[in-house]
Amino acid sequence: MDFGRVVTAMVTPMYADGAVNYSQAAHLAEYLFEHGSDAVVVCGTTGESPTLNTEEKLRLLSAVKDAAAGHGIVIAGTSSNDTAASVALSCRAAELGADALLLVTPCYNKPPQEGLYQHYAAIARAVELPLMLYNVPGRTACNLEAATVARLAEEFPHIAAVKEASGNLEQASRIRDLTPPAFRLYSGNDGDTLPLLALGGSGVVSVASHLVGREIREMVDLCLGGEFGAAAQLHRHLADMFKKLFICANPIPLKYALNRIGMDVGGCRLPLVSLNAAQKQEIDALLDKYNLI
């Protein structure tokens, strides 16, 4: 499956009391498709999936899927550190019409590579949707090795891509070498997009595309079109955005930024908290630099 070149990992809009704002989620999805995104992820890390219950995840998927009709691809985050629960949620997301699934490596319990293989194999046997693996060891304390990715891609053709957020370009290169040409390699870090594309990547699963989606899309298009100099120049222009959206845990800075530009997404659920005063000034300066406020 072609997931496109720019996939946005959506925030989950919330009301002041912490309840999910489903209508605003639909509006945000429409906005993202109009501003450079080919696909959106609902209920990923940026969407605060650890604090969303199953009913909320499924309602979000339905709301965004309705809004996306005719505009782009909707990918549902359905994996957790419980394989049985991941299989069950994946099946329900498929029934609700998700176009694909994003499957993060199990966090905290630190399975060995065979455990990771069995986790993903169980989901792959249960659903026929295109699947994107998600490797983010900085959050999960678990690295999905290139050989395991290749093993899964070979055995299950609908395991079609990986979101590689390890920051390890050597590992990304090895994934590209070991997997079939049709298998898609996506950057999971905005700042790694340009070098990963040069290694044979297909695009990015982005956070910053909430704010500079068209610019990121232009950068990816330039790079994949062979205009590396122009792509590198645009990458350098966006580098400050890529860095400062992570001055503390994602999506805290991003939600603050979206609220400041008039996209009412509310705050974060505990244990995530608001930016402090100095951090707010830093994000305000960032938004001013990119002419967003």
Rounded to whole angstroms, how far apart are CA atoms 246 and 176? 27
Assess if residue 130 is contained within a domain: yes
CB atoms within 10 A of CB 55: 9
Assess if residue 166 is contained within a domain: yes
Assess if residue 167 is contained within a domain: yes
The total of structural domains in the chain comes to 1
Cβ atoms of 160 and 183 within 8 Å: the answer is: yes
Rounded to whole angstroms, how far apart are CA atoms 161 and 186? 7
Rounded to whole angstroms, how far apart are CA atoms 113 and 105? 10
Q: What is the mean pLDDT of the chain?
A: 97
163 is catalytic: yes
134 is catalytic: yes
DSSP state of 191: G
Cβ atoms of 265 and 13 within 8 Å: the answer is: yes
134, 186, 255, 256: the catalytic one is: 134
Instruction: Please tell me the predicted confidence (pLDDT) of residue 94.
Output: 98
Instruction: Please tell me the predicted confidence (pLDDT) of residue 134.
Output: 98
Give me the percent of the chain exceeding a pLDDT of 70: 100
Instruction: Output the CA angle 66-97-2, nearest 5 degrees.
Output: 95
Assess if residue 85 is contained within a domain: yes
Whole domain around residue 132: which residue ranges? 6-228
pLDDT tens, position by position, 194-242: 999 999 999 999 999 999 999 999 999 999 999 999 999 999 999 999 9
163, 244, 255, 256: the catalytic one is: 163
Cis status, amide bond into 111, omega within 30 of 0: no
What is each CA distance from 35 to 190, 196, 211, 212, 215, in whole angstroms? 16, 22, 9, 8, 9
Between 209-224 and 22-34, two packed helices, what is the crossing angle to 10 degrees? Answer: 30
Question: Domain containing 134 — which CATH number?
Answer: 3.20.20.70
Alpha-carbon dihedral sign for residues 103, 105, 111, 117: positive
Rounded to whole angstroms, how far apart are CA atoms 205 and 215? 14
Q: Which amino acid, 104? A: V
Assess if residue 201 is contained within a domain: yes
Instruction: Please tell me the predicted confidence (pLDDT) of residue 1.
Output: 79
Residue by residue, DSSP assigns 8-25 as EE----B-TTS-B-HHHH
Assess if residue 51 is contained within a domain: yes
pLDDT tens, position by position, 131-153: 999 999 999 999 999 999 999 99
Assess if residue 163 is contained within a domain: yes
Q: Kind of pairing, strands 203-206 and 6-9?
A: parallel
pLDDT tens, position by position, 245-261: 999 999 999 999 999 99
Rounded to whole angstroms, how far apart are CA atoms 285 and 211? 14
Assess if residue 138 is contained within a domain: yes
